[in-house]
Structure 1
Amino acid sequence: MNYLSWNCRGVGSLRAVRILGDLLKSSNPDFVFLSETLVEKKDIAELVKKIGFFDYFAVDRVGRGGGLAIMWKRSVRCKVIDFSRNHIDVHIMERSNVSWRLTCYYGFPERSRRHEAWNFLRRLVKYDNIPWCIFRDFNDMLCASDKAGPHPHPQSLLDGFKATVEDCGLLEVELKGGDYTWEKSKGKPNWVREKLDRAFADANWWRKFPLCKLTVIHIIKSDHDPILLEPVNTEFSRKQFRFKFENTWLHEPSFKEEVIKHWRQIHKLHLLPKLLSVSSYMARWGRTFFHKFRDKVKKQKATLYSLVDISDDDGLNVILRNGRNWRTYFYMRSYIGSNEQKLFASKRKKSNHITHLVAGDNEVVDNHDEMSRVVLDYFQNIFDGDNTDNTQPVNEEIRVITDEQIQD
């Protein structure tokens, strides 16, 4: 299911209704969140009838400003659990009884209320313990690159919002399709563009939706661009999503550089969400690489078939050279027989089983709980210390040793 969000700046006008209609046709969302509707509940009820959605919930405007609304199709099972002038909290029940919490959020637009907004987010995180995602207009930025134009965003506000996100244990969903979601005075000397609309999720939500996508949809007649959230619940498939690293990726020169770049772009949060983000990035990268790899194999096979009738020395050298390349490709992605596969799997399982660990002080531990403690301490030393850029070596290390080495 897809979740569309748009700061419509008034949904009562014919122009806004037309823009919304175009968005529904192009994106086909199952759930829509509108902020700054500038209308009352009865107007939202009429809108829902026009666009053919199943149900809705709305928060009235206050004076001439504000107003929130969500609407959903019959395929969506959701229940409103809390709301205010700045948010609507819902429980989403998907197939297989997968339940998660979605907070549709509209942050305080006044800069003087930034601390109030940050404390409000900290209260929201304590509301429930099921997988949680929060999206829409935060009216806040995480880093200087989130703004283009004159008058850089104050560093104190950047630091405050970043600290709030970290305190809430949230990881940002990467935005596709553009760097900014709001602009003003386009084409003029004071042209300003900012990334105000985002989606964040906690570790539990990332476990269920590791392949989620967030896309900005550019529209001409609005200063705010809509965003489309697409969770991909891997529990729906017969085989649950499981990340598998392919050794063939290491043969692509750009792989390591791109993964390191992605890792460093992720804000410093808990280790698990960072690992989930990087693994899902590598999975997406691997799917693209596989298509390139498959084309290479086809090209190599075609080259070999075209040389089968060559008998001179130069031709034979070409065949041998291409044959070596083909064997390299083949062994990198070959499928082996069932008996050999069982033998290989058993050997791999045995080699992957850790029976002893040696901590940095040469302490040998073989108890599962103690080994878990050693590993946890090791990674906390890496990720929670001052070594935030991961470029300096870590003094302490852990080593895996076998039973044979223990006996020796």
Structure 2
Amino acid sequence: MHQLEKRGRAPHPPWKINGFREAVADCGLEYFPFSGHQFTWVRSRGMSNMVEEKLDRILVTENWLSMFEGATACSLVSPYSDHLPLLVTPIFTVHSGRRKRFLFDNMWLREDKCREIVAHTWDRTVGFDVLAQIESCSRDIWRWGKVYNREFARKIEVCKSRMDLLRIRRDEDSMVEYGNTEHELLYLLEQHHQYWKQRAKEHWEDQVSQVMMSYFQDLFATDQGDMTDVLEYVAARIT
């Protein structure tokens, strides 16, 4: 899914990587990270033409993630294969049944893919009522957005690692690549800032609404105190 997931020999063509990444997103799958050695396949180990690549990975659905939020995964050592086995340990999580509220991240607007998803979903649901079309759009954007946010954080780390590698190089190509990577990192950090700025605003609004609701509930709640002193001054009368 990324060029950095291969070490040795020629890199994969960008169109292959982008095509695979888009296919995963179109299938509604998300990458599930695992600990341990990340290059799960090796060829010609110990030789000058040795190649390592992350060919094996774990892909899950949104429903699976919700069901097994505490799941972990790791790569294992195997002397019988040139692939490393991946072990997934699922931990079932019991939910209250409350559905998560759809939240739209403003930084998604900078991505052409977001507009493509809206247009594709809207065309796919032609003939539905407007509310159903909007619900379908929100569901598809939410599914894509979760993958995007996860990959977004990964991109920042990839840029930082790449800059560390290029920092000590003095050839012209490396210096140009360093400048391009730095520019990309600044762009990502700006988006990251907008993301947390929006989250902080949503958190503040949520807290304010809870305070206001609690205030009016207490204000109009029935007082269950002792009414004996008041009733003593009310004359008993049958009409």
TM-score (norm 2): 0.44
- Answer 1 or 2: higher relative contact order, Cα 8 Å, separation at least 6: 2
TM-score by length of 1: 0.27
Select the structure that is richer in strand.
1
Structure number with higher helix proportion: 2
